[in-house]
Amino acid sequence: MGKECLVYPGSRRNRPHDRGHADGKHPGVVSRPGKTVAVAGNALITGASGLLGRELSRLLYRRGFAVAAQYYSHLPEEMPGNWIQGDLSSPDATRDFLRHHQALLQRCSYFVHAYGPISSKALNELDSADFLRDFQGNVVAFHAISTQLLQWGVLESAVAVGFSDVGKIRPYRMIMTHAAAKNALLLLVLSLAGENPRVRFNMVSPSTLAGARIVDPDHEPLGVAAAATAIANTLEAKISGIHLRVTPDHPDGEVAHAL
């Protein structure tokens, strides 16, 4: 297997025969014959094959990021960035993902975890395994990947995506598993922020569907493109630590945006 490397802005879209070669002397720079391209940073997006993940991949790529985008089973067609297959459904699988792609991930200082809801069962059909799957994919995987990036000393900014409106709108009207995992994910983000004050941790809550929104003081609905923009802005922010605002008047009692 050849050495993995990120596809950088200015190159053609990702194809196996068209991957650039990282310059070992200058991380974040790709060298091509007669051309050296500086980039804004290397970003890892997990759960990137979903609607929001694809939009965010496009946006970060346009902003000059080299993007490593994780997918599980369905590789999106005609998408920029470096798409890498990975299974985050168990602790062992997540460790295998980190080990297999270590050379690539060690260059990623920006991280977005957009795993999202798993089960589409009716409420009376849910079992303990359904809750465990959502908890593993959203909470345990975010902790494992963030911790590994911290141990490698590369992480500067991480954003956890905890989708809102779960249990209210189709097709996720009857899903309770993600709602439970989202609460734990928020507590995890707060804990990681407290333990690592030099790294920016944050959580955003777009909708599960195309009418995606970021929770803000006015609770104004935003499209999926605007949701991706808000996440990208949060990811790029140079503020250390995390400052979250609780909005108890919001229907979900959500806490989402940085002050």
* pLDDT-derived band at 246, boundaries 50, 70, 90: very low
Neighbours of 207 (CB within 10 A): 23
pLDDT tens digit sequence for 168-202: 555 555 567 777 888 899 999 999 999 999 999 98
Structural domains in the chain, CATH included, are 21-258 (3.40.50.720)
Q: What is the pTM of this model?
A: 0.74
Q: Which two tokens stand for residue 192?
A: 């990681």
Q: Cα–Cα distance between 27 and 42 in angstroms, integer? A: 9
pLDDT score at 79: 75
> CA 256 to CA 244: how far, in whole Å?
6
β-sheet bridge partners, residue 69: 45, 83
Digit-coded pLDDT (tens) for 166-176: 655 555 555 67
Q: Which residue has the tokens 């950088």?
A: 8
Angle between helix axes 224-236 and 51-62 (nearest 10 degrees) is: 50
Question: 120 falls in which pLDDT band (50, 70, 90)?
Answer: low
Query: CB-based contacts of 182: which residues, under 8 Å, 6+ apart?
Result: 138, 162, 163, 166, 205
Lowest mean pLDDT among 14-18, 64-68, 161-165: 14-18
Residue burial 80-109, b: 16+ Cβ < 10 Å; e: rest: bbbbbebebbeeeebeebbeebeebbbbbb
pLDDT digits (tens, 9 = 90+) for 32-69: 344 444 567 899 999 988 878 888 888 888 888 889 99
